[in-house]
Amino acid sequence: MKKKMQINKKKEERRGTQEKMSKVEKTARPAKAEKPIKATRPANAEKPIKSAERADAVCPYAKKCGGCDYQGMPYEKQLKEKQAYVQKQVGNFCKVLPILGMDEPYHYRNKVHAVFDIEKKRGSRPGARGNGKAANGKQGNGKNGRLAAKPAPGGIISGVYKAGTHEVINIDACQIEDELSSAIIRDIRGLLHSFKIKTYDEDTGYGLLRHVLVRRGFHSGEVMVVLVLGSPVLPSKNHFVKALRELHPEISTVIVNVNDKRTSMVLGDKESVIYGKGYIEDTLCGCTFRISPKSFYQVNPVQTEILYGKAIAYATLTGNETVVDAYCGTGTIGIIAAKSAKKVIGVELNRDAVRDAVKNAKCNNVKNIEFYNADAGQFMVEMAEYRADAKRGEKSGADEVDVVFMDPPRAGSDEAFLSSVVTLAPKRVVYVSCNPETLARDLLYLTKHGYRAQECQPVDMFPWTKHVETVVLLSQQKPDDTIEIDLDLDELDATSAELKATYQEIKDYVLKEFGLKVSSLYISQVKRKCGIEVGENYNLPKSENARVPQCPKEKEDAIKAALKYFAMI
């Protein structure tokens, strides 16, 4: 008792000392104390998202998954971020139109992939990976704090790899993935234990089920389920399919894909159909397309129609054009364009995609299209060489190419492909890009070799991620598009810079592009401001006191644009 009283007495003494110190601080503080200096962010650091700007529903897996870059950011702000990104990369080449976003930017992915695994216990710490419980021991419930989905019987989990690792995050549903596809994957997870199907272990190489891929036709409603196995034998496959289709009669086909290699690739080379026709079909821009497990097909059908519609509009087809569809995939753009073109040539490296492209053309009764299974760059180089030989009279039958559609991978095109485009000299190039940075690099090459970027349309194909698709129209600048006039160079005292474009050419360009009439005097004033040497006695006042009109700002900007166009600045 005595010891307890001594402890309480010490507590009272400490409390009293703290109160005295607090009073001293209050009396000693000036009436207008200086505000504390806030830590400053580097100029290039991203601004933190204010709580008021956060989206209402934040994905419970956001911190672990890493698939969505803009979690917590309102959709309108995401669009502004992407607009600024495209403007920064492409704005120097042409006008960038406002980005086309989605009315409903959720559950848009019609291709869903899940990795399967067994939950790995890591001690008894509450909330550890895979146990699906919060720190208080209760199961989480969505945005109120769910840490992970509950494992299926047998500890089976499915989902995505944690960012930068091969640790599987157990996921029930994703905000950007098709809801029916997510439900099918959940139910497959629930069936495995009763059918004694073991999941694949990457560390040991034992087990059967590695991945599940679900693809759904947005318009057709057809559903494909691909079971990726480590070996070709699926126990009780007919009973398994029957049980799965009882839960989801929407499933049109089930395919077993065998991937028996220690690889990060999802799909293997061998496939067998265990239910249905082995593919699904869907409608895009009024055409029907066949989709197999390995076919490239855009994952956002709503925005794809907008993107492809813009690309076709940029091509301005009249029915007389020969069109090349490079990196054609299953032939989507080419088949859509074929209705308005004389002939279409599609090129694709993926053999399965080419097979589907040929079938797609037959299905849509499109007879004016040919497909080639080849590397797009190499094919275009050979096509350019063949055409060059034909022009020299060494070969016959070479087509004049009027339009090239190009939709390369994220790495963009190589110089061999781009140089072949320049050699083929199509009137228009429609560039569909999923990477504004490589797009800018390729535009730099094309604009230095006779093409002019006219317009760029960004389309938000992947809400909640940083990715953005763009389509750019480039047109050929032919020598016969220029205006020929007679000039007395001695009279104008022309310099080497002036020889790149005459004053009349600059006037005509400004009038055509901006609707403004400019004088030679204004042009020479702007040239001097830009450091371009102008003839010593050209457009100078005749007397020292003469009042010389100065070029208005609007016309100055237009003249500078012309000087940039003619590569004078």
Burial 173-183 (b: 16+ CB within 10 A, else e): bbbbbbebbbb
At residue 547, what is the residue type?
R
CA atoms within 13 A on the CB side of 392: 6
Q: What is the mean pLDDT of each run of 10 residues along the chain (569 residues)?
A: 46 48 40 35 37 54 83 92 96 96 94 91 40 34 50 87 86 92 95 93 88 94 95 92 96 94 84 94 92 87 95 94 91 94 92 89 94 86 76 62 92 87 91 95 93 96 94 82 44 44 82 84 85 55 54 90 83
Catalytic residues: 434
**What is the C-alpha separation between 207 and 339, in angstroms, rounded?**
49
Q: How far apart are CA 426 and CA 368, in angstroms?
A: 19
| CB of 525 closer than 8 Å to CB of 551 | yes
**10's tokens:** 């010490």
- Give pairs for 173-176: CB < 8 Å, separation 24+: 174/59, 174/61, 174/67, 174/109, 174/112, 175/57, 175/59, 175/68, 175/106, 175/107, 175/464, 176/67, 176/68, 176/106, 176/107, 176/108, 176/109, 176/462, 176/463, 176/464, 176/465
CA–CA distance, 96 with 456 (Å, rounded to integer): 5
Angle CA 84–93–303, to nearest 5: 55
Do 357 and 331 form a contact (C-beta atoms < 8 A)? yes
Query: What is the Cα–Cα distance from 546 to 286, expressed in whole angstroms?
Result: 68
Parallel, antiparallel or unpaired: strands 428-433 and 469-476: antiparallel
How many Å apart are CA 393 and CA 170, to the nearest integer? 65
Q: Is 343 left (phi over 0), alpha (psi -120 to 50) or beta?
A: beta
Q: How far apart are CA 476 and CA 458, in angstroms?
A: 22
Residue 414 CA: distances (Å) to CA of 411, 445, 479: 9, 10, 26
Helix ranges (H only) for 257-398 are 301-315, 332-338, 351-363, 376-391
Half-sphere exposure in the Cβ direction for 223 (13 Å, CA): 19
Looking from the CA of 295 toward its CB, the CA atoms found within 13 Å total: 29
Strands, E assignment, 427-501? 428-433, 451-459, 469-476
**Alpha helix ranges (H) inside 202-275:** 237-247
Q: Which of 99, 90, 195 is nearest to 412 (CA)?
A: 90
- H helices of 221-300, in order, are 237-247
pLDDT at 295: 82
